[in-house]
């Protein structure tokens, strides 16, 4: 029997309309009278139907680290969170730095992905920053190039990478971090670090490399994307660069928009790179969303084993999971509080990343009950990773169904 969604709020072309919808197991159709044809009435009245989300920054850990996450588990977790397209970062083993190494990941994606999965290729061999990867050989099969997890330290190396990416029509997506400014830090160099005796990561370690890259981009003219910005200085630099015509976009993560270092606890689930910054940084990021400086939201979904995340702030691995909590956290923390319109949030999570990265595959749909209220329980995650700073938080928004490629890739029980 068909499933009917009656009086659904449907997002189309940047706005919402109330319509009826019928899902026949393969196709979601919108009708003026969805009750025709003897369809069965869905349990889900007055749902919200959105285009499938797109995350341009995730880690699925395969090949090389399948004990943390696999393509199968990661893509299923993504579907649970309403995502129908993701772009996987290349810090793998082997790293996708040649067509031969990339092929191992492509084979896993073809065999196991539940949704559209687009891999990045590395900028340098093994992400070591010493010699360039085979960008030309990988270009037909990668979404963009990145050495995510490491900043490219050498100016000449980044310049040449940008020139090659420009010739290939590809984006350079940069993890911006100056190694000489890290000084052994692992959380933000702010009040919490000083009060609790932790080593801090200064904001300059991020924005200083963004400043360098923007100067290079202005000279070369390549497409440039900044990963996971976290500081007010980064927002200001990118805002000014856009005003001067530089071809730059950027992303930030849900945790940077609703948390800051005042929320830190002595727990590895609060450790990520870049770290949670100050309240002033968080406010600048929200302002950047509202004025268009920040183009999209990406989770930087980075699963680790329970042991790797159980060693406190100082010794736990960097990274938290986010695909299954992103929309509920942002809907609760920004939309319900009147900070961000729902239409804008959907654009940041679906329309904008697809447009920038040229992802033209059918977005499909995700169906949400925005009135559903619950506590975040990592034990219900489909990801193999469980470390989230939102564990135990109360959020609104439950994904009831995700449809992609004529299939139901996730459905609530």
Catalytic machinery residues: 300
H-helix or E-strand spanning residue 88: strand 83-88
Separation of alpha carbons 177 and 57, rounded Å = 17
User: Cα–chain-centroid distance for residue 174?
Assistant: 14
Pairing of β 15-23 and β 28-31: antiparallel
Exposure on the CB side of residue 194, measured as CA atoms within 13 A? 5
| DSSP-assigned states of every residue in 349-401 | IIIHHHHHHT--S---EEEEEEEEEEE--GGG-SSS----TTTT-EEEEEEEE
Separation of alpha carbons 206 and 222, rounded Å = 20
Cα angle value 257/65/228 (rounded, 5°): 20
What are the tokens at 254?
A: 């849900």
């Amino acid at each position: 029997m068909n499933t009917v969604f009656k009086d659904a709020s449907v997002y189309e072309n940047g706005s919402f309309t109330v319509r009826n919808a019928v899902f026949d197991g393969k196709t979601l159709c919108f009708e003026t009278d969805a009750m025709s044809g003897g369809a069965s009435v869905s349990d889900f009245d007055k749902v919200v139907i959105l285009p499938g989300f797109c995350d341009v920054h995730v880690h699925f850990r395969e090949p090389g680290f399948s004990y943390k996450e696999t393509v199968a588990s990661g893509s299923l977790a993504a579907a649970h969170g309403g995502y129908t397209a993701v772009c996987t970062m290349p810090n793998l083993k082997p790293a996708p730095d040649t067509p031969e190494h990339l092929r191992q990941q492509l084979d896993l994606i073809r065999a196991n992905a539940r949704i559209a999965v687009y891999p990045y290729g590395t900028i340098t061999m093994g992400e070591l920053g010493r010699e360039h990867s085979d960008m030309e050989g990988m270009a037909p099969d990668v979404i963009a190039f990145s050495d995510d997890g490491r900043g490219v330290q050498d100016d000449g190396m980044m310049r040449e990478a940008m020139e090659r990416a420009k010739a290939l029509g590809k984006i350079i997506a940069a993890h911006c971090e100056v190694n000489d400014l890290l000084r052994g830090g692992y959380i933000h160099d702010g009040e919490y670090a000083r009060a609790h005796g932790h080593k801090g990561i200064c904001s300059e370690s991020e924005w200083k490399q963004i400043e360098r890259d923007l100067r290079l981009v202005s000279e070369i003219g390549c497409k440039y994307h900044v990963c996971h910005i976290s500081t007010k200085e980064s927002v200001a630099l990118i805002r000014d660069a856009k005003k001067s015509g530089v071809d730059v976009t950027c992303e930030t993560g849900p945790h940077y928009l609703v948390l800051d270092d005042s929320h830190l606890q002595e727990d590895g689930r609060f450790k990520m790179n870049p770290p949670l910054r100050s309240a002033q940084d968080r406010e600048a990021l929200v302002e950047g969303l509202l004025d268009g400086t920040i183009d999209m939201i990406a989770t930087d979904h980075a699963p680790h084993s329970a042991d790797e995340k159980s060693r406190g702030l100082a010794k736990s691995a960097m990274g938290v999971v986010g695909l299954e909590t992103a929309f509920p956290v942002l809907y609760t923390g920004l939309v319900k509080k009147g900070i961000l319109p729902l239409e804008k949030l959907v654009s940041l999570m679906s329309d904008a990343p697809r447009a920038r990265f040229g992802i033209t595959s059918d977005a499909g749909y995700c169906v949400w009950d925005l009135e559903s209220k619950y506590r975040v329980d990592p034990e219900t995650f489909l990801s193999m990773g469980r470390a989230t700073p939102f564990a135990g938080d109360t959020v609104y928004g439950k994904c009831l169904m995700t449809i992609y490629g004529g299939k139901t890739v996730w459905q609530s029980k």
